[in-house]
Amino acid sequence: MKPNLTRRSFLATAGATALATSLTYGAESPSNGKPVRILGLACSARKGMTTAKAVQAALNAAQAVDPRIAIELIDLGGLRIAGWSPSPIPDDFDALLPKLKDPQLGGLIIGSPAYFRSLSSLCKAFIERCMPLREGAMLLADKPVGALAVAGGRNGGQELVVQQILTAMLSYGMVPVGGKSPAMLGGALWSTKDEVSQDELGLQSAKLLGTHVAEVALKLFKNA
């Protein structure tokens, strides 16, 4: 330490250096310039319908958070995906694995219709078939996952479905993420005449969910 450097000036200099370092670190891309990918899974057998539209709304909100966010909707409608088996028969799930194993995957948004106040069989099959992502390294661990559900009524079991999805994804070490007030648990949408466009409250919950998943993904990716 220089003789003319007082304790006060030393602390001021150290504080300024720490602040500059912190600001520089926060400005860096969390993935060294590569995009942080958010995948949206629409788990309805009806391709391109209300669940897919709801998930897309969440993804669009996620993309708007930061230019480093890249989004992709995977609509499972029309795909053949069986539940877990010790000897699985090859089906359409195999083509999804590379996307789920991508090192740039930052998080998931999973959407399901609410059938009898439960998640769809297609959603359950998808979750079960993610088992290879637990073998050896937990490839989905410490990544955020958000969930939304669409039902034919305002209180049609959406929150139950969201809870079921988030609880199941805990088995993969994922970090459950809700939306922001007033959508603290996740997205809950009301479909009328096969449309969610008129459900402003539900669409807002989906957008809040997408925003929060993206924000958490950036933070976790930066600190990985």
Using an 8 Å Cβ cutoff, are 105 and 143 in contact?
yes
pLDDT of residue 224: 59
6 part of a folded domain? no
What's the average model confidence in pLDDT over 28-47? 84
16 part of a folded domain? no
28 part of a folded domain? no
Of the pLDDT bands very low, low, confident and very high (cuts 50, 70, 90), residue 39 is very high
pLDDT in tens, 151-177: 999 999 999 999 999 999 999 999 999
Q: What is the CATH number of the domain that holds 199?
A: 3.40.50.360
206, containing H or E segment: helix 200-222
pLDDT at 118 over 80: yes
Q: List the domain range (segments joined by +) for residue 103.
A: 33-222
54 part of a folded domain? yes
Using an 8 Å Cβ cutoff, are 34 and 104 in contact?
yes
pLDDT at 19 over 60: no
158 part of a folded domain? yes
pLDDT of residue 32: 59
Least confident of 83-92, 152-161, 187-196: 83-92
Domain count, the chain: 1
Cα torsion through 76, 80, 81, 86, rounded to 10: -170
Question: DSSP secondary structure string, 154-199?
Answer: TTSSHHHHHHHHHHHHGGGT-EE---STT-SS-EEEE-BTTB-TT-
156 part of a folded domain? yes
Of the pLDDT bands very low, low, confident and very high (cuts 50, 70, 90), residue 13 is very low
Question: DSSP secondary structure string, 114-132?
Answer: -BTTB--HHHHHHHHHTGG
C-alpha count within 13 angstroms, C-beta hemisphere, residue 151? 20
pLDDT at 145 over 70: yes
pLDDT in tens, 59-69: 999 999 999 99
Q: How many CB atoms lie within 10 A of CB 72?
A: 13
Using an 8 Å Cβ cutoff, are 62 and 212 in contact?
no
pLDDT in tens, 27-37: 344 545 789 99
19 part of a folded domain? no
8 part of a folded domain? no
